[in-house]
Structure 1
């Protein structure tokens, strides 16, 4: 069984699309877990109403609503509560690309032994919409050539190595690096798993912190004269967000359309 975990906090305005995309999967034999950070709006009540409306089996729906120490702490809580052999994280605001994603994963698992199975992602950027082709055979990011909305992972591995809460943005990347170091098997399948809004969020708006945490994962921060590399990031990565906030949108679109080489553009704005 696959456990789908959704993390939320005050997500009433955008979580309905996410939940409906999950509960409308053609293969209904999965577990759905909502881990809410004690929202002050109607997030939990809305999700519970949708679950009841769709008549999703109560025994396969788990709702946790309590304060947490951030998104990765909530993800760890979801893993602890899950019963499935595999886990997929589909957070509020994101959604499955099609109704047969879970059934496709279930068809693939018996055919190829792996610890993680992943596919492509339909990405929404300010400059356009396109498919992020995730095949690690050519993708420059060999650690994590996918986003966590488009990969299922064996739950026992997430139990063995929970997300490290000392990372603000790249705890999932650190987990997959741990998997790589320990010889875990990854299998890529050429189909679109999820829709992901890449216009906002921590990973889009913190390029300097991403560079620093990425170096830490690889142990580069322990090397002699690392302060020079950190200074380089301070001079090159830190100004990016200021530029994104103030540069004309037309210029930014032109730049990012050229930069995002692993995107197969479906629509350019």
Structure 2
């Protein structure tokens, strides 16, 4: 059994796919398999996969039902202990990323490891995004872990199920929330691992991602919706609305929500 699977999903991003593949091929860590799931691209991506097929553990080019359906296909094909999802267009910060990660993993047992990413904006600006040392539900109510810099134990998907396709934009976030609720061990790898390209499309998708994150939290986390309403009321209080009746209503509603939250 190889230690790691790197899974790349792609759809009509031939240039990004080639960059990602070269990044994976250049890694010094060799105890890995490389799986690519292409969604039936018509831009030359399939020809690139054929060209490098001898370096791939598995690849397929066929229509799918979206990114998480493609990622699930990769999970099913994986035979490794841990999986990392590296989307086409994203790439490792250097040749030693996987070697360094595995070294940390050996002395820090966990089921999910998560590192930092470097966001690459369209204008070329680079911004390092660092995750907290400890992942909490409070954190996951407002932020997420980037799957491009996460190493997830393969058997977790057997225990918890594959990515939930009901969440077309944020199924990975739902998986992290469920894992934390099950007290799954997480460990932070405090290193920049991946360059993540943020273009205009990614930015728009991120807004949709955030909306679905809120939906997931409402479904999975007790008291989340109530806490959000309490925060909104507390924020509104700061503006000292001139209508006394409204001020009285927000105060009463706040206390009602507070009492309900204590019972959840």
**Shift in Å, 1:136:** 4.0
Distance 1:125 1:19 in 2: 21
- Per the alignment, do residues 185 and 13 of structure 1 end up closer, same or farther by CA in structure 2, a change over 3 Å counting? same
Name the counterpart of 2:57: 61
Residue 191 (structure 1) aligned with residue 188 (structure 2):
no
Contact 1:6–1:91 under 8 Å retained in 2 = yes
Contact 1:136–1:142 under 8 Å retained in 2 = no
2:36 is aligned, of 34, 37, 40, to 34
Contact 1:3–1:33 under 8 Å retained in 2 = yes
Residue 166 (structure 1) aligned with residue 162 (structure 2):
no
Partner deviation per Cα, 1:71-103 (whole Å, 9 max, x = no partner):
000000000001011000001100011101111
**Shift in Å, 1:110:** 1.7
Name the counterpart of 2:105: 109
Distance 1:207 1:39 in 2: 23
Higher mean displacement: 163-172 or 85-94: 163-172
Tell me how many residue pairs correspond in the alignment: 222
Distance 2:120 2:5 in 1: 25
Name the counterpart of 1:151: 150
Q: CA RMSD in A?
A: 2.8
Q: Quick check: which has more Rg, 1 or 2? A: 2
1:129 is aligned, of 126, 145, 158, to 126
Structure 2: unaligned runs, 5 residues or longer: 233-264
Q: SS where residue 5 of structure 1 aligns?
A: strand
Name the counterpart of 1:213: 212
Partner deviation per Cα, 1:207-253 (whole Å, 9 max, x = no partner):
65334312221126998x99x97xx9xxxxxxxxxxxxxxxxxxxxx
Distance 2:177 2:137 in 1: 14
Name the counterpart of 1:15: 17
Name the counterpart of 1:176: 176
Contact 1:170–1:213 under 8 Å retained in 2 = yes
**Shift in Å, 1:9:** 1.2
Residue 25 (structure 1) aligned with residue 24 (structure 2):
no
- Per the alignment, do residues 36 and 119 of structure 1 end up closer, same or farther by CA in structure 2, a change over 3 Å counting? same
**Shift in Å, 1:206:** 4.0
Distance 1:79 1:62 in 2: 11
TM-score by length of 1: 0.74
**Shift in Å, 1:139:** 9.2
Structure with higher helix content: 2
Partner deviation per Cα, 1:119-168 (whole Å, 9 max, x = no partner):
11111124621211112449997236531111100111123321111112
Distance 1:185 1:13 in 2: 37
